[in-house]
Amino acid sequence: MSTLYRQLRKSFEDNKNEPGAADFYYGEMEMRRHDRTDTTRAERGLLRGYWMLSGYGLRASRALGWLAAAMLITIALLMGFGLPKDDPKQEATGTVPPGGGKVTFEIDKDHPQNPTGNRFTGERFEKVLNATLNSVVFRSSGQDLTTAGTYIEMGSRVTEPVLLGLAVLAVRNRVKR
């Protein structure tokens, strides 16, 4: 059945009817997602995820909703587990040889400690929001994070740009029609 939808979609694309082609594209993808004979289980799983996250690249609101949800989850996780109790301070220690001469300094930074007490404050929210917004565009915030926070940021630096890309794809498809 998906072959028929594909042929109809191709016909609409050849006639420069983008809205009609998009409708048949959605139908083609639905047929592929539900087809248990020609489509492998892995492909059906990928199609199901593509459908859930962005409606096959045609539903911008769905992709933006998932992006907003992912960002809120990142903010909550970073506020709860990712930011250290205090910003680690740099400490410089040095020795001055008797009679003067060359001074050597060793600069060290404490390891970030997990927070205790009130984790959800305005100051912590501002730091976490900055880190989350940077993670959407593959950038590191430069914020000192705990070990858990580092892993949370890495996960968001993978998922959030993908969701943003799906939203951009859906908007592009909508504008193109």
Instruction: Look at residue 91 in the predicted model and tell me its pLDDT.
Output: 63
Rounded CA-CA distance 4/10 in Å is 10
Instruction: Look at residue 7 in the predicted model and tell me its pLDDT.
Output: 87
Instruction: Look at residue 88 in the predicted model and tell me its pLDDT.
Output: 56
Tokens of 85: 């109790």
Q: Average pLDDT across each block of 10 residues of the chain; the chain has 177 residues. List them in order.
A: 83 84 85 87 92 88 93 90 70 68 65 68 81 75 80 89 89 75
Of the candidates 47, 23, 21, 25, the residue with the CA atom closest to the CA atom of residue 36: 47
| CA 59 vs CA 50, 56, 172: distances in Å | 11, 7, 11
Residue 138 pairs with which residues in a beta bridge?
none
- Cβ burial of 111 (10 Å; 0-12, 13-18, 19+) is exposed
Of the candidates 72, 67, 80, the residue with the CA atom closest to the CA atom of residue 117: 80
Rounded CA-CA distance 165/171 in Å is 10
Of the candidates 102, 164, 98, 160, the residue with the CA atom closest to the CA atom of residue 132: 160
Instruction: Look at residue 90 in the predicted model and tell me its pLDDT.
Output: 62
DSSP 116: -
Please compute, for residue 138, the number of CA atoms within 13 A of its CA located in the half-sphere on the CB side. Answer: 4
